A and B are shown apart, each in its own frame.
Chain A
Amino acid sequence: MTSGLSRELIALRAARELRSGQYVNLGIGLPTLVSNFIPEEMGVVLHSENGALGFGRIADEGEMDIDLVNASSQPLTLKPGAAFFDSALAFGMIRGGHVNVSVLGAYQVSEKGDLANWMVTDRRVGSIGGSMDLVSGAGSVIVVMEHTTRSGEYRIVSECTYPLTGRRVVNTIITSLAVIDITPKGLLLREVAPSVTVEDVQAATGPRLLLAEDLREMEL
């Protein structure tokens, strides 16, 4: 079976899910790549929970400033119209429902939209960071991830076995194989990656998939 999209293409497909005028928080890891695929003219404003709105691309060598970083401590650049604020205000924006979209990575997502993304049980300790606040406060939650683990285990499951970040919080899952919405009836397969079949996606997914009436191949 095909391994599907690269991390860059998953990020590109996730960027297409965003809409003009939205305020968007990108989580640590794969989600930060999404910023590379948001066109300037789209008018999306990026929020960072360490206290910035309106940042741009990752800084090049020579323009790095240790006082200007994202939540992963990568050096940033700013766009015109940027703003800084403290951590309580940063999370007031999230908890208060002002951040429209949260893009997060995941270890597991359940068919009911439960998310597990902060701790692998074997490590015995994990970092919650802003993830629990984001899933509870953001307007919608998009998960981006490889469809299965490296050893081929399901990440989309009936019930999460890792500690939860939130219950019934995920709206859409964008993976190396597919775009899937969490609906009251279950997992709705909306798109498959190029050269990937519905059977491939089902074989890599724990719960049974429902097929969207307009199910189609991803446009990348």
Chain B
Amino acid sequence: MDKVVSSPEEAVADIVNGSTIMFGGFGVAGIPFTLIKALYEKGTKGITAITNSPGGRLEDFDLSVLFRKRQISEVIASYPVYSGKVNAFEELYLKGEVGLELVPQGTFAERIRAGGAGIPGFYTPTGVGTVAEEGKEKRTFGGKEHLLELALRADFALVKAHKADRMGNLTYRMTARNFNPLMATAADITIAEVDEIVEVGELDPESVVTPGIYVNRIIKGEKYDVGFE
């Protein structure tokens, strides 16, 4: 079994217009820059992006590049905008060119986890009494109100990991883990971009965070020296 593909172009070749795609990353850490660039070059349009943030901190490398090329039409996110800066998403959102479903971050993470684990929905106290409760079923447990939240799934998940073996087992590095292991479980096709590809048997099974069963394709990422803001 060898899931390594030869190029980023090949990895994203079947991502057609209108696809729903999860993108890993939190802030500047754990973003699949190489796969985003490949998607930019392929030009897939009408994307629904499921991502904690639609980018803006590293706007020459993150999802900002896809917004500027009008490739994303819908966003499901928890942290879409930053203080003191207008990102490419916000410009298009305020013009009505991109839609947004805003989700509390813990609910966002759990909806993806549920999607990957075959759980259609769950109740959470987060967001009761706020805009996050609009249109949602409420149920009281232990005298406290909860909201029914539904699982999230995608056609593709583009994730960033540290090491992969050829069977798709993945390890992560520090806070670059974030949403990546969750998203890897919740898509029909998961594509992992990694710093290093190793032979089967070289990863300590105890260190594997994403078992290969969740991973369909692996590419070695380009090295990006993006720096901090």
Contact = CB atoms under 8 A, between A and B. Distances in A.
Contacts of A71: 26-27
Interface stretch (B5-13, B36-44, B65-73, B98-106): B98-106
A51 B177 contact: yes
Interface stretch (B15-23, B123-131, B214-222): B123-131
Contacts of A124: 94
Nearest to A164: B130
Interface in A64-111: 64-73, 75-76, 84-88, 90-92, 94-95
Nearest to B25: A50
A206 interface: no
B129 to A, nearest CB: 4
Given A52-B175, A164-B130, A166-B129, A90 B109 contact: yes
Contacts of A91: 105-106, 109-110
A117 B94 CA distance: 21
A127 interface: yes
Contacts of B27: 50, 69, 71-73
Interface residues of A, number: 46
B178 A87 contact: yes
Interface string B128-162: 11111000000000000000000000000000001
B113 A128 contact: no
B180 to A, nearest CB: 8
B114 to A, nearest CB: 9
A125 B94 contact: yes
A67 B174 contact: yes
Given A95-B125, A127-B78, A66 B226 contact: yes
Interface string A118-146: 00000111111111110011000000000
A166 B147 CA distance: 13
State the main secondary structure of chain A at its contact with B. loop
A67 B124 contact: no
Nearest to B82: A127
A143 to B, nearest CB: 16
A205 B191 CA distance: 53
A7 interface: no
B29 interface: yes
A165 interface: yes
Contact of A88 (B104, B113, B228): B113
Interface string B78-117: 1111110000001001100000101111110110110000
B182 interface: yes
A64 B175 CA distance: 13
Given A129-B105, A136-B126, A87 B26 contact: yes
Contact of B90 (A94, A125, A166): A125
Contacts of A88: 109-110, 112-113, 182
A49 to B, nearest CB: 7
Contacts of B131: 163-164
Contacts of A148: none
A84 B174 contact: yes
Scoring B94, B104, B132, B182 by chain A CB atoms within 10 A of each residue's CB, the highest score goes to B104
A35 interface: no
Scoring B28, B100, B178 by chain A CB atoms within 10 A of each residue's CB, the highest score goes to B178
> Lowest 10 CB-CB distances: which A-B pairs, in order?
A91-B106, A73-B27, A133-B106, A167-B129, A132-B104, A87-B109, A67-B176, A127-B79, A88-B113, A130-B105
19 contacts: A48-B175, A52-B175, A66-B226, A67-B30, A67-B173, A67-B174, A73-B228, A86-B180, A88-B113, A90-B106, A125-B80, A126-B81, A128-B78, A132-B106, A132-B130, A133-B106, A133-B126, A163-B130, A167-B128
Given A73-B229, A84-B177, 13 more contacts: A51-B178, A67-B30, A68-B174, A71-B27, A86-B177, A88-B182, A91-B106, A91-B109, A123-B81, A128-B104, A129-B78, A132-B130, A166-B130
